[in-house]
Structure 1
């Protein structure tokens, strides 16, 4: 031990173990890998294929028959009440507000996200990690933003999720299903991206498994704790590699520029690891996570410098990163479905695994904060993570 080494900040165990550290390190390597980013690209591409079909097969999307009849009935009632003068309600089908034009530019905008993913992946595959940075070279950040914009507009119905944007077309239900599937399976961004805000607290701290009430879905959910989450995510591994010992000790303080791309560990009790980019301002640490100025200024230690792909080769270990292939469901069976229904946001509709879905739309697993599916009316609801569950409907 060098003189004054005892004065250096150090990571220390409280509830964490070396096994926890090993699983966390392995997961961070996986999350920032070429393989993980390729899965994000492929999940988004499944949606873009449906946009292409819509643009080619039905350039003008119209209301479905059920919604159209409901709108006509509403207009007839307004005419009968003297609110509007008489007009031919059959014409509302062709009103511009009741049509969606699916143009080549619509498809081009969606396809741009795939192109950005492909460009970023090509550079990452030869070790160029500038694609992670919040700069003009940050192609993977741009790809994520494009994909999320599509999710925000088409699935959520606008930035506030208030369905202020409405889309018509026979492929729209399939698009929504594909976007929800992609968001739940992989998200549209993996890991490694430099934050676009400075002075941030790290993205996570150690948590225990607990129960919380979600006012949005009106149900109590289980928040999976850090250890339980890591064990679940690495359950397919027969052996978890140990955290490597760095060749030299490299430390960086909160607010200082990180010297290299790699995995850094918070030098506090039960401190978690994060991936940080070269030149990125080192995180603060503590709650609330990912908030500017939150937590405290700490020292981070470089655990592993990322030198992958410099030879253009994907490490063999990445073949074991994901036990299951990313295979999109058959979204085409949603084509032509109508999304209009009589559900109200204060209605609680619950159905168990194996029972038919009452409505097409989003269903949330009652006992899982992250368990969401987009399901078709009449289809039997599935299990969640291999177990039967109650599913709660939460709209289209």
Structure 2
């Protein structure tokens, strides 16, 4: 966990940099319940968020209040934990090295362009990470010799529908060559 950078903004403020931000509730001690004095106390108010420079820091909504019939906003500040400066030079780096690999898993290499896309139900020609053509959010790891899977996508009602898709190799395991 990175140490906070010291950059803190309030909800509704302009976000100064891209990065990972932590929502905090900040309280100060008070004299007679009115005048803020002493040290501040900050406490995590929810899930970390990736905030984009130039947008407004979001508000946080608390739990739903049954008696009032709505959820109230939580007064939060946002603390920058990690400044994202990966794209400042205009280039998009290969970020596959950042992904966590399971212990003992084979490292990935670029796929062999000679390995064609395969359809669901066909035998997998190479061990690696495959993506459903036309569905970039659906990726699977398949071992050479296994049958390529169908793709089940939930429709508006939540029912899963089977799609007979074509799979393209994204990354191939080293030992799969």
TM-score, normalization: structure 1? 0.20
Structure richer in strand, relative to its length:
2
**TM (normalized to structure 2)?**
0.41
